[in-house]
Amino acid sequence: MPTSINSDNVTFYSGRDTAWHEEILDACPTLTNGCAPPAWARNPHVQTLLTVFHDAGAPATTWDREDRLMAGDGGTVSIQWAGLDAPPTTPVLVAMHTICGSADGLRRMLVPLRERLGWVVAACNRRGHAGLPLTAPQVDTMGSTDDLRLQLRAIETERPGAPIYAVGVSAGSGLLVRYLGEEAERSRIRASVAVCPAYDVPDAFRFMHPRYDAYMTRKVINFFLRRNARQLDGIDGYDYCAAAGSLAEFHERLYPLAGYSNADAYYAGSNPMAVAMDVVTPGLVINAADDPVCAQANVHRNLEGMQSLPRMTLAFTQFGSHCGFFEGSRAADSWLVAAIADYLSAAHSLLGC
């Protein structure tokens, strides 16, 4: 039966394979210690401010190369590479960015992850992100699994025979889970980490802190719609979607801009939880109880289903906010980076090279 383990800073829940879960925890001391911020940084809004501060101060990423790929409908995505001089069989870490972000926006995590793991990084940018032009009139905050498959095929072509792992951050975790569920046993990804997922898209955003919801709604309208008005404003629903007053309302109205006939079809084709129960790839999910964006209600509503998955470990921390998880006396140390590196190293060892 699935198990749960509690400590002062983190509660762990397992999937069906409790032996795997226990082996993972035994091999991951940073993960099992949980995130322990100093007292002054245990407020979720302070952690959010620290995220902005540390993101801005993170060193620039020096990419070896950027590959731009064109999908069948003319849409453009890209892969930014780091570590291409590594031996051919070196594992590849595929990174999937946030809702309005990019590979560069993940540099606070990717640079130290690469240093800790010694792996190749292949950061996947979605349509219209990272300076990519929107070359097909279609947007989706959840991304496209067809585009991700295109990127994964390119990664395998570049690094044939190298094992592939993945980390998805916030909305990037939704794309990751959607892919893993659609592919099931066919997945090209050996193990994964989902950071601060929102779970069920039709419901998740209803639990957001109101101020974060208002801010994020303005941000996604500007990022996805207004700056792409020339390509999108002729599509039915553009004005209606641009007038949304919340993220939940925005997604209810997004379907024509994402290429679907109605909201139900959009959720069926984009919502991670529609296929999440088909995931068989080993995975670590990280959520914080004080997350104001992907609220803990989402965790509790989906916990039973998650525990039915085979090799799943959920780390539910007391503190960390949304993608923060800073600790140490000056709250300058990233528990998140250390925990992800712990898990991926352990999974790689347990799965066998």
Q: Is the pLDDT of residue 353 over 70?
A: no
Can you give the C-alpha Rg of the chain in angstroms?
Answer: 19
**pLDDT tens figures, 220-279:** 999 999 999 999 988 988 999 999 999 999 999 999 999 999 999 999 999 999 999 999
Q: What are the start-end ranges of the H helices in the chain? A: 18-26, 29-33, 44-57, 107-117, 145-158, 171-183, 201-204, 210-220, 229-232, 238-242, 247-253, 263-270, 296-306, 335-351
Mean pLDDT, to the nearest integer, of 128-151?
A: 96
Residue 221: half-sphere exposure toward Cβ, Cα within 13 Å: 21
pLDDT above 80 (res 4): no
The answer on pLDDT for 9 being more than 80 is yes
Q: SS3 helix, strand, coil % of the chain, rounded to 5?
A: 45, 15, 40
pLDDT digits (tens, 9 = 90+) for 51-85: 999 999 998 889 999 999 999 999 999 999 999 99
> 343, 28 in Cβ contact below 8 A?
yes
Closest by Cα among 8, 24, 28, 40 to 327: 40
How does 167-206 read in b/e, with b if 16+ C-beta sit within 10 Å?
Answer: bbbbbbbbbbbbbbbbbeeebbbbbbbbbbbbbbbbbbbe
On the question of pLDDT at 147 being above 80, the answer is yes
| Cα angle for residues 39, 43, 47 (degrees, 5° grid) | 100
Domains of the chain, with CATH numbers? 4-208+278-348 (3.40.50.1820)
| pLDDT higher than 90, residue 5 | no
pLDDT at residue 6, as a whole number:
64
pLDDT range class, residue 342, cuts 50, 70, 90: very high
In angstroms, the CA 350 to CA 352 distance is 5
* Residue 151: predicted pLDDT: 98
Tokens 């957001």 correspond to 208
Residues 291-335 have pLDDT tens digits of 999 999 999 999 999 999 999 999 999 999 999 999 999 999 999
pLDDT per position as a tens digit, 170-189? 999 999 999 999 999 999 99
pLDDT mean over 88-114: 97
d(CA 99, CA 201): 13
Buried b (16+ CB within 10 A) or exposed e, 50-80: bbeebeeebeebebeeeeebebeeebbbbbb
> In terms of DSSP bridges, do strands 326-327 and 333-334 run parallel, antiparallel, or are they unpaired?
antiparallel
Instruction: Name residue 314's beta-bridge partners.
Output: 13, 285
Nearest to 58 by CA among 103, 5, 92: 103
pLDDT over 80 at 164, yes or no: yes
Residue closest to 347 by CA, chosen among 163, 172, 199: 163
Rounded percentage of the chain residues whose pLDDT exceeds 70? 98
| Its pTM surpasses 0.75 | yes
278 three-state secondary structure: helix
Report how far residue 23's alpha carbon sits from residue 182's, in angstroms, rounded to the nearest whole number.
Answer: 27
Quote the CA–CA distance of 142 and 171 in Å, as a whole number: 6
Q: How many C-beta atoms lie closer than 10 Å to residue 313's C-beta?
A: 27
109 touches 336 (CB < 8 A): yes
Query: How far, in Å, CA of 113 to CA of 99, rounded?
Result: 21
Q: pLDDT above 90 covers what percent of the chain?
A: 94
User: Do the beta carbons of residue 160 and residue 251 sit within 8 Å?
Assistant: no
